[in-house]
């Protein structure tokens, strides 16, 4: 394990641990509006100051960290499962099935997904709790995000299917199912892992974009993206309000460090 991977794991672990640990403390409420202390400078009570509604920036940042990291990882996993299924079937079956699925993948990749997200959000029930709407947003991201990993998986499965060792296994009379389970899937793992690690920062950044546009979780629920909205104020001078940017940048860099470079080639 290289030093950079160690650093990435340590930093992410620290982020997760503090965010989860802080969630247990009752004093941290992401929604309480301390209206007599709006827009306050950092202090012992509010280490990152308060936002324009008097909410503790630190508490909001920590719970946003928790939510964004966990949800991004979950969405990445979801997208990957879809990608593995669809890309796997396309690559393994080949033929018309492959052609149809590849068209489907291309279609997904060319969709104006922001518009789609807007449309789906507009269809959500109005009384969806903030967490539900966030869940829906991430589920949608996962539903939309499978296409490009699916393409990679398909290429991987295809080259595995046509590889010499699979042919050798066939020559030994191994059944299709066992070829799939024992020969193709294990060799796909590095590809899937790489896709998993590279998708997480993508989802984090996508959520940040959505949140910045006000399309992430509903108020008062904080996510990294929704915290960024404070920065829309062109005249904002408080450096502590940039803490979410630092958290996002740090985690994205860490995930990039974790994702294998080049990885295993088939």
Partner 1 sequence: MTRRFLPVLVVAFTSTALAQIGGDLRFCLRADPKTFDPLLVEDDNSEAVRYLTGGVLLRVNRVSQQFTPELAASWKVDEQGRRITFHLRHGVAFSDGTPFSADDVTYTMNRLMDPQLHSATADPFRSSSIPPRITQLSADTVSVTFGAPVSGLERLFDQVAILSAHSPRKLAAVLGPFQVAEYKPGIEVRLSRNPNYWKTDAGGRRLPYADQIHLQIQQNRDLELVRFRRGEIDLINSVDPEVFERLAHDAPSSVTDAGVSLESEMMWFNQAPSAPLPSYKKAWFASQAFRRAVSEGINRADLARIVFKGHAQPAAGPISPANRFWFNTTLRPHPFDVPSALRRLQEEGFQMRNGQLYDGGGHAVEFSILTNAGNRSRERMATMIQQDLTALGMRVNVVTLDFPSLLERMTQTFQYEACLLGLTNLDLDPGAQMNVWLSSAANHQWNPNQKSAATPWEAEIDRLMRRQASELRPEARKRLFDRVQQIVWEQEPFLYLVNKDSLMALSPQLQNTAPAAVAPQAYWNIEVLRKSSQLAGNR
Partner 2 sequence: MRPLLSAFVSVDYPGRPGVLQGVDLEIAPGEILGLVGESGSGKSTLALALLRLLPFRGGTTRGELRLRERDLLALSERQMRAVRGREIGLVLQSPISALNPAMRIGRQIVESWQAHRDHSPDLPGTLEMVSLPTEPSFLDRYPSQLSVGQAQRVLIAMAILHRPALLIADEPTSALDAVTQAEILKLFARLNRQLGMAVLYISHDLLSVASLCHRIAILQQGQIVETNTSEEIFQRPQHAYTQALLRAIPRVPEFLPV
Which residues contact partner 1 (rule: CB under 8 A)? 31, 33, 35, 38, 52-54, 118, 121-122, 126-130, 213-215, 218-220, 229, 232-235
Rounded to the nearest 10°, the torsion over CA 261, 206, 47, 257 is 0
Please tell me the count of residues contacting partner 2 according to CB under 8 A.
19
Question: Out of partner 1, partner 2, none, which partner does residue 263 contact, by CB within 5 to 8 A per kind?
Answer: none
Question: Out of partner 1, partner 2, none, which partner does residue 17 contact, by CB within 5 to 8 A per kind?
Answer: none
Query: Which residue, 25 or 129, has its beta carbon nearer to partner 1?
Result: 129
Where does residue 214 fall: left (phi above 0), alpha (psi -120 to 50 degrees), or beta otherwise? Answer: left
**Residue 173 neighbours by CB distance under 10 Å:** 6
Work out whether 172 is an interface residue with partner 2 (CB under 8 A). yes
Query: Which residue, 184 or 202, has its beta carbon nearer to partner 2?
Result: 184
Angle, helix 95-110 to helix 57-93, in steps of 10 degrees: 150
Rounded to the nearest 10°, the torsion over CA 189, 191, 192, 197 is 120
CB of 249 to partner 1, least distance (A): 23
Chain center to CA of 31: 24
Give the whole-angstrom CA distance, residue 266 versus residue 263.
10
CB of 176 to partner 2, least distance (A): 9
Give the whole-angstrom CA distance, residue 125 versus residue 20.
30
Query: Which residue, 130 or 263, has its beta carbon nearer to partner 1?
Result: 130
User: Which position among 169, 193, 215, 245 is part of the footprint of partner 2 (CB under 8 A)?
Assistant: 169
Residues that bind partner 2 (CB under 8 A): 162-165, 167-175, 178, 182-183, 186-187, 189
């Amino acid at each position: 394990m290289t030093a950079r991977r160690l650093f990435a794991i340590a930093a992410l672990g620290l982020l997760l641990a503090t965010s989860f640990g802080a969630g247990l403390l009752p004093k941290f409420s992401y929604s309480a509006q301390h209206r007599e202390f709006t827009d306050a400078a950092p202090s012992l009570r509010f280490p990152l100051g308060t936002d324009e509604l008097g909410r503790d920036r630190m508490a909001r940042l920590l719970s946003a960290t928790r939510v964004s990291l966990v949800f991004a990882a979950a969405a990445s996993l979801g997208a990957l499962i879809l990608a593995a299924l669809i890309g796997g079937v396309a690559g393994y079956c080949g033929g018309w099935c492959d052609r149809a699925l590849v068209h489907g993948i291309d279609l997904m990749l060319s969709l104006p997904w922001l518009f789609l997200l807007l449309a789906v959000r507009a269809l959500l029930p109005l009384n969806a709790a903030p967490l539900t709407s966030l869940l829906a947003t991430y589920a949608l991201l996962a539903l939309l995000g499978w296409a490009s990993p699916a393409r990679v998986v398909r290429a991987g499965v295809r080259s595995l299917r046509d590889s010499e060792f699979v042919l050798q296994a066939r020559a030994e009379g191994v059944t299709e199912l066992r070829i799939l389970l024992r020969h193709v899937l294990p060799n796909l793992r590095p590809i899937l892992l790489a896709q998993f690690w590279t998708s997480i920062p993508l989802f984090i950044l996508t959520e940040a974009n959505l949140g910045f546009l006000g399309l992430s979780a509903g108020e008062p629920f904080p996510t990294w993206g929704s915290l960024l909205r404070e920065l829309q104020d062109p005249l904002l001078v408080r450096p502590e309000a940039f803490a979410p940017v630092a958290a996002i940048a740090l985690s994205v860099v860490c995930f990039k460090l974790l994702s294998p470079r080049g990885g295993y080639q088939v």
